[in-house]
Amino acid sequence: MAPLLELVHVKKRFGQVTIAEDVSFAVEQGAAVGIVGPNGAGKTTLFGVVSGDVRPDAGDVVFDGRVVNRLDPAARCRLGIGRTYQVPRPFDKMTVFENVLVAAQQGARARGGVSHAHALRALESTRLSDDANRLAGSLGLLQRKRLELARAIATQPRLLLLDEVAGGLTDLEVRELVDVVRAANAQGIAVIWIEHVVRALLATVDRLLCLAGGEVIGDGLPRDVLASPRVRDVYLGTDATAAESVA
């Protein structure tokens, strides 16, 4: 089967800073892939390249066999690329339900009752049903992260890009989040998850990429990647301990 997503020789620089020198990798349909890497490695930027927020200097993004380089974020979302942002981007003056409904109506192009059902199920799966009528601007951090996830799920994606959705959460909250992501993945949605909380990744993904210095410096089974000397080299401080504890 052809891969769902392919990055082909992607190159991106911000001024003198190289974010991606020559990044190529493919993600299979329904896969669960984690991405780790030091702060500022360019992980979020790479998501932007996939979702259409960031224009690469060179290289191709191929989604489902189609080169999507020229498509804007909305068009890519409608093709099936759903993403969350590291810093949540809720629609503050709209209710939680309305936040998710826009995604169902636009991203999934659903109408009427079907769009309502998509939105309600996305809220249910992210345990936000009880907050459906609250204004998004009144939510706390955990719920904002969940809303970000619910919105991406409501677009009925085939590929879900999660950018540090577990950051700043308690152990229990992280476990709940892992359940949500695993449930989405079990439904056949491919997941790429950027996360510093390594144990969340280990509970979810079966493949890990490590990004550093504009390159993919590790790609394979999570344990192998975390144990590789090159990956351990770039990790210092807390991240090293996290990596150590599982290696």
Q: Which among other proteins, ligand ATP, Mg ion, none contacts residue 94 (Cβ within 5 to 8 A by kind)?
A: other proteins
Q: Which two tokens stand for residue 146?
A: 């969940």
> What does the alpha-carbon distance between residue 133 and residue 118 come to, in Å, rounded to a whole number?
16
Run of H or E residues at 246: helix 237-246
Q: Which amino acid is at 225?
A: V
Nearest 5°: phi and psi at 11? Answer: -130, 135
E strands present in 106-239: 159-163, 190-194, 207-212, 215-220
By the criterion CB under 6 A, which residues form the site for ligand ATP?
A: 14, 17, 19, 37, 39-45, 86
Let me know: does 36 contact 209? Beta carbons within 8 Å.
yes
Bridge partners, 211 (sequence order): 216
Q: Which region among 11-19, 88-96, 191-199, 221-229 touches other proteins (by CB under 8 A)?
A: 88-96
Instruction: Output the smallest distance, CB 123 to other proteins, in A.
Output: 8
Q: Tell whether residue 91 is a contact of other proteins (CB under 8 A).
A: yes
Whose structure tokens read 């800073």? 17
Q: Tell whether residue 66 is a contact of other proteins (CB under 8 A).
A: no
Between residue 86 and residue 145, which ones bind Mg ion under the rule CB under 5 A? Answer: 86
Q: Which among other proteins, ligand ATP, Mg ion, none contacts residue 180 (Cβ within 5 to 8 A by kind)?
A: none
Closer CB to ligand ATP, 43 or 151, in the complex: 43
Q: Tell whether residue 30 is a contact of other proteins (CB under 8 A).
A: no
> What does the alpha-carbon distance between residue 59 and residue 146 come to, in Å, rounded to a whole number?
33
Q: Which amino acid is at 93?
A: K
> Using CB under 5 A as the criterion, which residues of the chain lie in contact with Mg ion when the complex forms?
44, 86
> Using CB under 8 A as the criterion, which residues of the chain lie in contact with other proteins when the complex forms?
51, 53, 72-74, 77-78, 83, 85, 89-95, 97-99, 101-103, 105-118, 120-121, 124, 129-130, 132-133, 136, 151-152, 154-156
